[in-house]
Amino acid sequence: MVFGRCHRISDLTRKRRVLEATTERYFPDRHAGTDYLPAADEDLARMELVAIEIDEAQAKTRSGGPMGPTDDDPDAPGSAFVRTL
């Protein structure tokens, strides 16, 4: 769960930088103009992009492998078959 404030990014140059940074993060070996066509200004103008400033975040975590008696059984009913690598 995340609490924060968001604001619209309307500047085309900033939108382009954000999208290129996102692509670089998830596809580090791909570059605009070489591996894909960069977004046209018209497309960026139509696109809504928001930035979220996170004030507070909470999450549940678990460590270790399966904890239930049937978690490692692929034929068990429900959301079973949790496997660790």
Is 78's pLDDT higher than 70?
Answer: no
pTM score, two decimals? 0.60
- 18 by Cβ neighbours in 10 Å (0-12 / 13-18 / 19+) ranks as middle
In the chain, where does DSSP find H-type helix? 12-26, 41-46
CB 39 within 8 A of CB 19: yes
CB 22 within 8 A of CB 9: no
Confidence of residue 83 (pLDDT cuts 50, 70, 90): low
Bridge partner list, 18: none
Confidence of residue 31 (pLDDT cuts 50, 70, 90): confident
pLDDT number for residue 47: 94
Is 85's pLDDT higher than 70?
Answer: no
